[in-house]
Amino acid sequence: MRYQWVLLLTLVGVVGCKNTTKQADNQPLKSGIVVLGIAQDAGFPQADCKKDCCQAAWLDPSLRRHASCLALYDSLKNQFWLFEATPDIKFQMDRFKKMAPEVSLSGIFLTHAHIGHYTGLMHFGHEVMGAKELPVFAMPRMRSFLSENGPWSQLVDYKNIDLQKLNADSTVILNERFSVMPFRVPHRDEFSETVGYKIMTPKKSYLFIPDIDKWHLWKRDIIDEIAEVDVAFLDGTFFANGEIPGRDMSQIPHPFMEESMELFRDLPKGEKAKIHFIHFNHTNPTLQIGSEARAEILGAGFEVAEEGNHY
């Protein structure tokens, strides 16, 4: 009996100190963020990858992961907003609607014009859902890119989507309790600028930076930004340098997770526990459940974002 209580208290303690909960099937969903994708743009496994990294995921669908995406949910109004329109959006919306039945999509926030972050918009067009004026929040270059290039321009012309203006560092009020602030981050801006988001709700605030070149190239201090939120979803694309043999990784810069962990090494435990890595490339050993890399991250006090988890 005593052992059972100790066990129960231990479990409560573990759950209580984390910023994450696994959503129970029979409980109504609470307001907050649900993670709907944790992989890099190409998803996991990656097209045509025959290497060890993707082998198990080709064979076992339960190991597959979608491109990075968050759902922001307001339980009072039964509304949600997506952060990113990924190529996997139909599965992600389906998953979310099973968690929050009758919910309605109130808008989509885009970070930039790399394929994993906006191409899911195609599902709102004439050939699929035929959406009516779905608000899509995007920065100026991103808006021009969508309105001036097919097939995206058709979504604008047919009013399937209604492009909403975003300006860096200025807050978008979603309703009396929820707001969102975009901020610029350095990244390969071929077709659009790139932003991250700060998301504010009455109970928690969140940081979402799925893509950034390197922390030191940013005009802001990531450590200060983490201090201001409860949960930070941060770029974990690559674990370490040399991860993609035969490709010059300086051409596809991201903060290696090894570098990030070094940068955050001396943060207090509570600050480290806010950091949830996301946006994993198929080569990143973090995606392999039993890997040493994953054990190292968790052992150092950091977290790994998981699909279906509520934050």
Label residue 232 exposed, middle or buried (CB < 10 Å: 0-12, 13-18, 19+). buried
Q: How far apart are CA 136 and CA 53, in angstroms?
A: 35
Q: Which is nearer to Zn ion, 39 or 99 (CB)?
A: 39
Instruction: Please list, in sequence order, all residues whose beta carbon lies within 8 angstroms of the beta carbon of residue 60, skipping any fewer than 6 positions away.
Output: none
Q: Does 84 bind Zn ion (CB under 5 A)?
A: no
Q: Of residues 280-299, which lie at the interface with Zn ion (CB under 5 A)?
A: 282
- Min CB(46)–Zn ion separation in Å: 5
Rounded to the nearest angstrom, the gap between the alpha carbon of residue 24 and the centroid of all alpha carbons in its chain is: 21
Polymer length of the chain? 311
Name which position in 29, 33, 34, 54 contacts Zn ion (CB under 5 A): 54
Q: Does 211 bind Zn ion (CB under 5 A)?
A: yes
76 secondary structure, DSSP code: T
Quick one: which segment of 113-121, 124-132, 165-173, 224-232 binds Zn ion (CB under 5 A)? 113-121
Q: Does 116 bind Zn ion (CB under 5 A)?
A: yes
Q: How far apart are CA 110 and CA 86, in angstroms?
A: 10
- Min CB(133)–Zn ion separation in Å: 27
Q: Does 63 bind Zn ion (CB under 5 A)?
A: no
Q: Does 267 bind Zn ion (CB under 5 A)?
A: no
Q: Does 43 bind Zn ion (CB under 5 A)?
A: no
Name which position in 19, 35, 41, 74 contacts Zn ion (CB under 5 A): 41
Structure tokens at 204: 């928690």
- 273: how many CB neighbours lie within 10 A of its CB? 18
In the complex, the residues that contact Zn ion under the rule CB under 5 A are 41, 46, 49, 51, 53-54, 114, 116, 211, 282
